[in-house]
């Protein structure tokens, strides 16, 4: 973690400047500060979901209504969206996903490892362009590049934010 730097603030700025108008999410500790920024600023619609696949449908509707959106999720939630990715794939609408990774560096929870290890391969198999942000200082820049690919290129794009960039999770906190 870089002292005095907040990747959440940077991603919030990038999405705002990229004219994102809706953000869908399942509450997640990795995205907690970013989600709180959307709630506090309240100029981008923030929609909590019960399951990640709802976000794919919601953002498809947003695109049809003329608005850009982003889906925030943890790597374990990627397994929930796989079938729904056939919709933006066949309908050719952009989808920007920002994924906080688990099951990687310093993981303590063995239940997170299988999906964490399968995320990149699984997304690519579904036609998603995958960009990795392995360092905290590169997260905002990576999200910016991903939003260009998604919204200007009409593609499904996922930014995988490395567990190392986020810092080690700890149940005792």
**What is the 3 state secondary structure string of 84-118?**
HHHHHHHHCCCEEEEEECCCCCCCCCHHHHHHHHH
Return the CA Rg of the chain: 15
In a domain, 2, yes or no: no
For residue 106, what is the domain's CATH number? 3.40.50.970
pLDDT at 4: 59
Q: Is the pTM value of this prediction over 0.75? A: yes
Instruction: Return averaged pLDDT per consecutive 10 residues of the chain, 173 residues in all.
Output: 75 97 94 95 95 97 97 94 97 96 76 81 98 95 98 97 76 55
The total domain count for the chain is 1
Domain residue limits at 117: 7-166
In a domain, 127, yes or no: yes
pLDDT at 169: 60
- Tokens representing 85? 């990715």
pLDDT at 104: 82
In a domain, 172, yes or no: no
Closest listed residue to residue 130, CA positions, set 167, 99, 107, 154: 99
pLDDT at 172: 59
In a domain, 94, yes or no: yes
pLDDT at 117: 82
In a domain, 173, yes or no: no
């Amino acid at each position: 973690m870089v002292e005095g730097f907040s990747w959440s603030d940077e991603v919030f700025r990038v999405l705002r400047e990229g004219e994102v108008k809706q953000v869908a999410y399942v509450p997640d500790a990795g995205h907690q500060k970013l989600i709180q920024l959307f709630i506090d600023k309240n100029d981008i619609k923030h929609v909590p979901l019960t399951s990640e696949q709802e976000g794919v449908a919601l953002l498809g509707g947003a695109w049809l209504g003329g608005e850009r959106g982003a889906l925030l999720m943890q790597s374990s939630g990627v397994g929930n969206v796989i079938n729904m990715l056939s919709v933006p794939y066949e309908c050719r609408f952009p989808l920007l996903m920002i994924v906080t990774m688990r099951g990687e560096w310093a993981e303590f929870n063995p239940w997170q490892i299988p999906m964490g290890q399968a995320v990149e391969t699984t997304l690519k198999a579904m036609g998603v362009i995958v960009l990795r942000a392995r360092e905290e200082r590169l997260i905002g820049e990576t999200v910016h590049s991903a939003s260009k690919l998604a919204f200007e290129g009409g593609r499904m794009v996922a930014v995988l934010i490395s567990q190392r960039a986020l810092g080690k999770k700890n149940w005792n906190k």
